[in-house]
Amino acid sequence: MTATFYQNKDSFLVAADCIIMGFHENELNILVSRRQIEPLKGGWSLMGGFVNAPESIDEAAERIFGEFTGIKDIFMEQVGAYGEINRDLGERVISIAYYALVNIDEFDTSLAEKYDARWVRLTQLPELVFDHNKMVKDTIGILQRKAAVKPIGFNLLGDQFTLPTLQSLYESIYQESIDKRNFRKKLMTMDILEKLDEKDKSSSKKGAFYYKFNKEKYDQLIQQGLHFSL
Amino acid sequence: MTATFYQNKDSFLVAADCIIMGFHENELNILVSRRQIEPLKGGWSLMGGFVNAPESIDEAAERIFGEFTGIKDIFMEQVGAYGEINRDLGERVISIAYYALVNIDEFDTSLAEKYDARWVRLTQLPELVFDHNKMVKDTIGILQRKAAVKPIGFNLLGDQFTLPTLQSLYESIYQESIDKRNFRKKLMTMDILEKLDEKDKSSSKKGAFYYKFNKEKYDQLIQQGLHFSL
DNA sequence: GCAAAAGTGTTTCAGGTACACCCATGA
DNA sequence: TCATGGGTGTACCTGAAACACTTTTGC
């Protein structure tokens, strides 16, 4: 028999909403879907669901994320809790937002069909239901602050990528253009990339060399107390 | 008759916990209290309480904060949601943490007695119940990142303060010592302080001039797109 | 007159920013 | 051969960090 310590207290539905970001065609994209249930059924929405009793809120977010993407083991962090009384037009729901950075190539497109989900460019984000636009905005803020200091951007790319791609990723995060010489200089100073022999010739005739992120070296540098700023 | 949109979903107790920080005797202090209820009654705890149905989570945090301090209109921001299954030993409770920066002089000490609350130095923080130590740690992280970029530190001081005091505040936040010449130079460059004629002679024979934060000037500079880093 | 804290400048160095041309290749 | 995107180096400037002595005044 479980003791009930806290009596006569109100309880609440708790949801987890996922801001799922990918990088595609040189732009940040966000996964949105047509809402499956009333109210606002059919409206553009983030991927969300209710927290179940036997799971932590982090676990709920991971479960929901997996249901919509088919991806597991992903970079995911909390954005914050959203608790305005009427934020959800259905009932009182407190929502915890999480953002995830995914390599869009691993994304299971069959699930996208099932949930009527699609990737939209961040720059062309439609009006979303409830306070979901605010969640996205808050996420971008976190991303900008965090990407400056930690190499989280690599989560959005595959194992190998070209410098022009990496640069447009950062331009997309900061929403401003960067001088390519300065960008490359800074990266080379950091010494956390490994140049490969192969070239990507898909976007130019000359071709751009592939690089890969050297996590070992990065961890090593961090351990030495070095700081980054990208 | 209210429509119930979401059925068969689990619901949860939701709490708000407040990390209340003040600055006293050249150190950051945190308000902690002896927990009033089981389980862990008598353990050191943050100021917390349950969210009630008719209030948003922000409102709940403000209410709880007011109950314990007697202060209103305070700088307060969310830290995040804590939702491990067994984080609260009593029942499943999801907690939203908020931090508040207060001028310790406005604090109503009679309330402190009522709740068996006291200010403890951050450097000598005791073991707290549940995951409250993690909440504090996360708050310090936020504070360090934020104080570097926004003049939030002034919320911890009265209208007027001396530069040595301001410096120890920042030293306390960053938990490292700062060269006073560099500190002053940077502040003067920013041009957001106003020097007063009066001196504080409480901590030295010579006395230190009082300054006040010039919010108008600060807002003006921000509007011009200037950035700070302290 | 001395102890104790307040106040004050200069030099050095690293990192940020601005900027323009050549290279490799497929069509 | 030309159009397209990839790749490279330098000069300047700002801001961070290191560093030591003088001033005031209560005791």
Single residue among B147, B172, B201 that ends a domain in this structure: B147
Around A173, how many Cα atoms within 13 Å sit in the side-chain half-sphere?
25
Which of the residues A1, A2, A4, A5 would you substitute to probe the B interface, choosing the one with the greatest number of B C-beta atoms within 10 Å? A5
Higher per-residue confidence, B106 vs B81:
B81
Sign of CA dihedral A169, A115, A86, A11: negative
- What local confidence, expressed as pLDDT, does residue B3 receive? 53
- pLDDT tens digits for range B151-185: 999 999 999 999 999 999 999 999 999 999 999 99
| Range B190-205 average pLDDT | 95
B113 and B219 together in one domain? no
CA distance B155 to B74: 8
- What local confidence, expressed as pLDDT, does residue B226 receive? 75
Omega of the bond prior to B151 within 30 degrees of 0, cis? no
Tokens 């001028």 correspond to: B103
Question: Which of A2, A3, A78 is closest, CB to CB, to B80?
Answer: A78
Query: How many domains are there within chain B?
Result: 2
The tokens describing A140, both together, are 């971008």
CA distance B190 to B213: 11
pLDDT at B2 over 80: no
B141 touching chain A per CB within 8 A: no
State percent of chain A over pLDDT 90.
83
| Range A84-97 average pLDDT | 96
B58 and B96 together in one domain? yes
- What local confidence, expressed as pLDDT, does residue B65 receive? 96
In a domain, B182, yes or no: yes
- Contact residues on chain B for A57, CB-CB shorter than 8 A: 81, 83, 94
Single residue among B147, B177, B192 that ends a domain in this structure: B147
Q: A167: domain range? A: 159-223
Domain at A106, CATH number: 3.90.79.10
Q: Which residues lie below 8 Å from residue A143, measured CB to CB, with a gap of 6+?
A: A21, A99, A152, A173
B141 and B38 together in one domain? yes
Around B31, how many Cα atoms within 13 Å sit in the side-chain half-sphere?
30
- How far: A107 CA to D3 C1' (Å)? 35
SS3 category, B117: strand
- pLDDT tens digits for range A41-51: 999 999 999 99
CA distance B68 to A101: 40
**A3 — pLDDT class (breaks 50, 70, 90):** low
Sign of CA dihedral B157, B160, B164, B167: positive
State percent of chain A over pLDDT 70.
99
| Range A132-159 average pLDDT | 96
Higher per-residue confidence, A142 vs A113:
A142
Statement: the CB of A41 is under 7 Å from strand D: no
Q: How far is CA A122 from the centre of its chain?
A: 11
A38 and A128 together in one domain? yes
**CB–CB contact B5 A145 (8 Å):** no
Statement: the CB of B92 is under 7 Å from strand C: no
- What local confidence, expressed as pLDDT, does residue A223 receive? 83
| Range A57-71 average pLDDT | 95
What is the pLDDT of chain B when averaged over all its residues?
Answer: 94
Sign of CA dihedral B166, B169, B171, B177: positive
B41 and B132 together in one domain? yes
B23 and B112 together in one domain? yes
- Contact residues on chain A for B39, CB-CB shorter than 8 A: 5
A99 and A172 together in one domain? no
- pLDDT tens digits for range B102-143: 999 888 888 888 899 999 999 999 999 999 999 999 999 999
A143 and A163 together in one domain? no
B182 and B108 together in one domain? no
Domain at A179, CATH number: 1.10.10.10
Q: Longest C-alpha distance within chain B, in Å?
A: 72
- What local confidence, expressed as pLDDT, does residue A84 receive? 98
- What local confidence, expressed as pLDDT, does residue A184 receive? 97
**CB–CB contact A91 B5 (8 Å):** yes
Question: Which of B14, B80, B84 is closest, CB to CB, to A94?
Answer: B14
Single residue among A90, A112, A147 that ends a domain in this structure: A147
Residue type, B6: Y
In a domain, A154, yes or no: no
A62 and A141 together in one domain? yes
A54 and A143 together in one domain? yes
CA distance B12 to B25: 41
Tokens 């001081």 correspond to: B157
Query: Model-level pTM?
Result: 0.95
pLDDT at B1 over 90: no
A65 and A142 together in one domain? yes
